[in-house]
Amino acid sequence: MQKVKRILYSQKIAPYVFVLPFVLTFLVFFLYPLTTTIKMSFQDILPGQEQWVGLKNYQRLLTDKVFGQAVFNSLRYMVITCALLIPFPMLFAYMISSRSMKFAGAFKSIYFVPVLSSVVVAGLIFRMMFAEQPDAMMNSLLALFGQPAIWWLKLEYPSLLALVLLCCWRWTGMNMLYYLAGIKSIPTELYEAADIDGASAVQKFTKIGWPLLKPTTIYVLTISIYAGLAMFTESYMVFGNNASPHNYGLTIVGYLYRYGFEKLRMGYASAVGLALLVGALALNLVQLRLTGTIGKRGDK
C-alpha cells in the first residue's frame, strides 16, 4: 500500500496522473470512435448487415453534387461570417474601450445577451422573424420601403442572410469580449507616446491597435473557421428541419447527419465525416504554419 502511494506521489509518476483524465477521455471518446469511423467508411452498413465495399463510399462522395453543394454552403457561410465577425467586433471593442466612452459596461452587457441564448431559442426567434407572413418582422421591414413581402426562408440569399444575421447576432458580443481582453493587455504607454507624437485616432488604431491585436485576431479567426465549418444546428433550427428548400441551408455536418441518422447510411456518413476531418485539419494546419498560433475547440 505504502509502496503504491510512494510511486503515485513520486515526481516521475505524478505528471502522468495529472494528464490521465485527458488520456482516458481521448482514448475512449475520441481515438476509438475515430478508428471506428475510419473502418465504417470502407463499409456498407445496414441493420443486421455489414459488408466491405472498399473505396465505394469515397468515390460516391466525389461525384455527389449535393455534397458539393453542402461543402460550398459551409465554406461560403464560413467566409462570410469570418469577414463580418472579425473586423466589426474588433472595431466595436476598440471604440467602446476608449476612456471617453460613457456607459460602456451597460453596452457590453447588452451585446452579450444574445451569446447567452441557446441555438434553439435563437433559431426560433429568427425563424419567426423571417417567417413568410406579411406581418412578420422582416416582411414588415420590406413594407416600410414599399416592397412586397417575400418568402425569406425559401430563397437563396434571403435565407443566407437569416443564417448570417443569426450568427452575427449571437457572436458579435462574444468576439468583442475576446478583443476587449486583447485591448486590455496593450500597454497604455504606447498611446501616451502616440499622443505626444500627435497621432490621430485612426492612426492610433492602425499603428498600435491593429498590430498588437494580431494574436487575438488569429485566435478569433481560428474559432470562427471551426464554427463556420461545423455549422449545423443553426440551419436545422432556422429551417425547422434538415431539408431546406433547394438545400440552401444544407451544410457538411447537415449532410453527414442526413446520411448517418436520417437515411441510416452510416458507412457513407463516416466517409463524409472523415472528409470534413481532413478538411478541418488541413485548414488548421495551414493556419498553424502561417501564424504559429492555435485555436480552441468549442464545447458541445
Residue among 54, 40, 109 nearest 259 (CA): 40
300 near another protein, judged by CB under 8 A: yes
Q: Which residues pair with 43 in a beta bridge?
A: 52
296 near another protein, judged by CB under 8 A: yes
* Residue nearer to another protein on the CB measure, 83 or 156: 156
* Residue nearer to another protein on the CB measure, 146 or 184: 184
64 near another protein, judged by CB under 8 A: yes
32 near another protein, judged by CB under 8 A: yes
The three three-digit cell numbers of residue 297, written as one number: 475547440
The three three-digit cell numbers of residue 158, written as one number: 434571403
Distance CA 259, CA 247 (A): 14
157 near another protein, judged by CB under 8 A: no
By CB under 8 A, the residues from 39 to 58 that bind another protein are: 40, 44-49
76 near another protein, judged by CB under 8 A: no
Interacting residue with another protein among 73, 84, 163, 265 (CB under 8 A) = 265
Interface with another protein: number of residues (CB under 8 A): 144
Give the contacts of 149 (CB within 8 A, at least 6 positions apart): 132, 133, 134, 139, 142, 143
184 near another protein, judged by CB under 8 A: yes
Residue among 164, 171, 166 nearest 86 (CA): 171
131 near another protein, judged by CB under 8 A: yes
By CB under 8 A, the residues from 228 to 257 that bind another protein are: 229-230, 232-233, 240-247, 253, 256-257
Interacting residue with another protein among 81, 159, 224, 270 (CB under 8 A) = 270
Give the contacts of 253 (CB within 8 A, at least 6 positions apart): 74, 230, 231, 232, 276
Instruction: Tell the smallest beta-carbon distance from residue 14 to another protein (Å).
Output: 4
Interacting residue with another protein among 103, 157, 203, 206 (CB under 8 A) = 103
Distance CA 274, CA 147 (A): 45
Interacting residue with another protein among 1, 3, 54, 100 (CB under 8 A) = 100
Residue among 245, 267, 240 nearest 256 (CA): 267
